[in-house]
């Protein structure tokens, strides 16, 4: 083979590799958080917040804002009310929010992430998303902004990409109650939580 041909083939290889990487990483644009997506869905002025506080509410039984979370390969669906959002949901600030979590396929873990910069107030808190089973956790979001969600239970690799790593999302916490209601299609679902009654969610 001529030297020129070898060099040409090498560059073809490099270009194919770059394109395939680009395809893989650009999937984040619709599967998870992206600035463009966020600008259409998130009120101005609400920047990224790293969750800082896990709330142990003890005997408190509600009322809660209830958000149903379904994990699957590979996205989170949120059922805040009568509307379904994929990889994004809206919650009020300063009120207990109850996440009712399950999976429709394999094990996942719904995980709200803290940043290392907040390591002095650690919160890396999640709950298993298990098929046929509901787990739950309660948060009071301490300030408005964007909270990052990930999957913390390895749940497989896609045939054409990363799989597990795509299972990320954003929680928008806002003090604008009417905005939350607008986004969720009405009055936020509220009530006490009884896992033996509400399982049909």
In DSSP notation, 108-162 reads EEEEEPPPGGGTTS---EEEEE-BT--EEEEEE--SSEEEEEEE-S-----TTS-
Residue placing its CB nearer to Cu ion in the complex, 10 or 133: 133
In DSSP notation, 1-23 reads --HHHHHHHHHHHHHHHHHHHHH
Residue placing its CB nearer to Cu ion in the complex, 81 or 108: 108
The count of other CB atoms within 10 Å of the CB of residue 170 is: 22
Q: Nearest approach, Cβ of 77 to Cu ion (angstroms)?
A: 15
Q: Nearest approach, Cβ of 135 to Cu ion (angstroms)?
A: 15
Contact yes or no for 172/90 (Cβ under 8 A): yes
Residue placing its CB nearer to Cu ion in the complex, 88 or 151: 151
Residue placing its CB nearer to Cu ion in the complex, 71 or 189: 71
Q: Nearest approach, Cβ of 130 to Cu ion (angstroms)?
A: 12
Residue placing its CB nearer to Cu ion in the complex, 111 or 147: 111
Q: Nearest to residue 186, comparing CAs of 89, 80, 43? A: 80
CA–CA dist 98, 68 (Å, integer):
8
Q: Nearest approach, Cβ of 167 to Cu ion (angstroms)?
A: 5
Site of interaction with Cu ion (CB under 5 A): 108, 151, 155, 164, 167
Q: CA geometry: angle at 20 spanning 17 and 26, to 5°?
A: 135
Q: Nearest approach, Cβ of 164 to Cu ion (angstroms)?
A: 4
């Amino acid at each position: 083979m001529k030297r020129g041909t070898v060099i040409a083939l090498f560059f073809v290889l490099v270009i194919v590799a770059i394109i395939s990487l680009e395809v893989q990483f650009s999937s984040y644009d619709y599967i998870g958080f992206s600035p463009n997506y966020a600008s259409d869905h998130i009120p101005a002025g609400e920047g990224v917040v790293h969750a800082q506080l896990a709330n142990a509410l003890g005997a408190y039984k509600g009322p809660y804002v209830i958000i149903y979370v379904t994990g699957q390969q590979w996205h989170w669906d949120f059922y805040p009310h009568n509307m379904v959002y994929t990889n994004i949901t809206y919650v009020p600030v300063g009120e207990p929010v109850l996440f009712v979590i399950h999976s429709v396929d394999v094990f996942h873990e719904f995980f709200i992430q803290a940043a290392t910069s907040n390591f002095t107030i650690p919160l890396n808190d999640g709950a298993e998303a298990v098929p046929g089973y509901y787990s739950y956790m309660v948060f009071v979001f301490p300030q408005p902004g964007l909270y990052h969600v990930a999957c913390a239970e390895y749940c497989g690799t896609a045939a054409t990409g990363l799989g597990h790593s795509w299972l990320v999302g954003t929680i928008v916490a806002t003090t604008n109650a009417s905005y939350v209601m607008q986004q969720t299609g009405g009055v936020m679902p509220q009530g006490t939580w009884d896992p033996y009654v509400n399982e049909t969610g």
